[in-house]
């Protein structure tokens, strides 16, 4: 069944098991933007009300690559922070990749995810033009592997690690989770991940990678550097979130809709596509954070 344009303020298709308990909140038809804002504020309020207050610590500037031949650039860029609740055990962790077109950006902890009883691990990775593909994805895989191997020492659960990110960070999320070869390189099965939540990430080969090959940004490519190339039945729960198709970057919603459809075709039972009506590419992250938090809460109950 193809996704339909229903004039929903938040549109969801094929709700995953992790979203089922609150899918009624985000599939109501014919809401105006004022009601949408109220709905999202309600989600935020419910999340805040249900969270116990924990004291947090942060370990900063950790080098996540253990290669014996690290370059100075790798030492500078391949770092992460661990922001985690103290006196809590077996909490969920979000590995967070920043956006910036694989060319710009630095790691940060989204304010909307702070003090929610979960750990946040923001990651820096090497950027174009100092490096080229596939170094971006390789760095992302190394960082995720580090988290899976080390989060238990902070009190977190290695069974509750969710990967997420916005834009280029969403692309890295999908690549690391769908193409098993990247984490296999670091001794990790990507099916160990509890979930993948890319915010408005490419599903085709990233435009910066296409530009490195001399391919125009309007020429779509699906090869081994495209998440779409790696659709599979057995991957972790996948929640795809985009902005409004009319306001998003060129084709970004449609790419994700195709990825969602092909995941269904191959038999994946836990793929969800959500479109945030009225939000453009840059704005959609703030609207998506409460949805990510609810996804994490439900996943955590199931693990």
- What CATH number does residue 196 fall under? 3.40.50.1820
User: What whole-number distance in Å separates Cα of residue 224 and Cα of residue 249?
Assistant: 22
Total structural domains in the chain? 1
On whether residue 3 sits in a domain, the answer given is no
- Asked if residue 36 has pLDDT above 80, the reply is no
On whether residue 1 sits in a domain, the answer given is no
Please give the residue that has the higher pLDDT: either 67 or 142: 142
Beta bridge partners of 95: 121, 163
On whether residue 2 sits in a domain, the answer given is no
On whether residue 78 sits in a domain, the answer given is yes
Segments forming the whole domain that contains residue 48: 10-302
On whether residue 239 sits in a domain, the answer given is yes
| Least-confidence region, from 29-43, 150-164, 217-231 | 29-43
On whether residue 84 sits in a domain, the answer given is yes
Q: Once rounded to an integer, what is the mean pLDDT over residues 221-232?
A: 98
On whether residue 107 sits in a domain, the answer given is yes
Mean pLDDT of the chain: 88
User: What whole-number distance in Å separates Cα of residue 233 and Cα of residue 228?
Assistant: 13
For residue 281, whether the previous peptide bond is cis, meaning omega lies within 30 degrees of 0, is: no
Q: Once rounded to an integer, what is the mean pLDDT over residues 138-143?
A: 98
Please state the separation of Cα 77 from the chain's center in Å: 20
- Asked if residue 192 has pLDDT above 70, the reply is yes
pLDDT at 303: 75
pLDDT at 111: 98
pLDDT at 302: 84
- Asked if residue 194 has pLDDT above 70, the reply is yes
Give the model's confidence band at 30: pLDDT under 50 very low, under 70 low, under 90 confident, else very high. Answer: very low
């Amino acid at each position: 069944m193809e996704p339909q344009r229903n004039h929903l303020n938040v549109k969801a298709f094929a709700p995953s098991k992790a979203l089922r308990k609150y899918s009624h909140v985000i599939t109501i038809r014919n809401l105006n933007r004022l009601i949408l804002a109220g709905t999202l504020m309600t989600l935020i309020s419910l999340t805040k009300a249900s969270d116990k207050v924990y004291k947090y610590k942060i370990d900063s500037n950790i080098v996540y690559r253990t290669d014996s031949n690290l370059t100075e650039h790798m030492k500078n860029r391949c770092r992460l922070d661990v922001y985690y609740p103290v006196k809590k055990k077996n909490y969920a962790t979000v590995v967070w990749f920043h956006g910036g077109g694989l060319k710009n950006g630095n790691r940060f902890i989204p304010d909307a995810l702070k003090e929610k009883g979960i750990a946040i691990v923001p990651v820096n990775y090497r950027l174009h033009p100092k490096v080229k593909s596939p170094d971006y994805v390789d760095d992302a895989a190394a960082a995720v592997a580090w988290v899976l191997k080390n989060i238990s020492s902070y009190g977190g659960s290695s069974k509750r690690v969710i990967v997420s990110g916005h834009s280029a960070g969403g692309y890295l999320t999908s690549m690391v989770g769908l193409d098993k070869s990247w984490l296999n390189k670091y001794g990790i099965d990507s099916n160990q991940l509890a979930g993948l939540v890319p915010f408005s990430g490419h599903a085709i080969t990233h435009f910066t990678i296409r530009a490195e090959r001399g391919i125009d940004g309007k020429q779509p490519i699906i090869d081994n550097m495209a998440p779409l190339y790696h659709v599979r039945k057995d991957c972790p729960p996948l929640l795809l979130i985009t902005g409004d198709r009319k306001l998003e970057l060129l084709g970004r919603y449609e790419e994700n809709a195709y990825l969602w459809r092909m995941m269904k075709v191959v038999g994946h039972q836990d793929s969800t596509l959500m479109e945030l009506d009225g939000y453009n590419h840059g704005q959609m992250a703030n609207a998506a954070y409460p949805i990510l938090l609810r996804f994490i809460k439900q996943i955590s109950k199931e693990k």
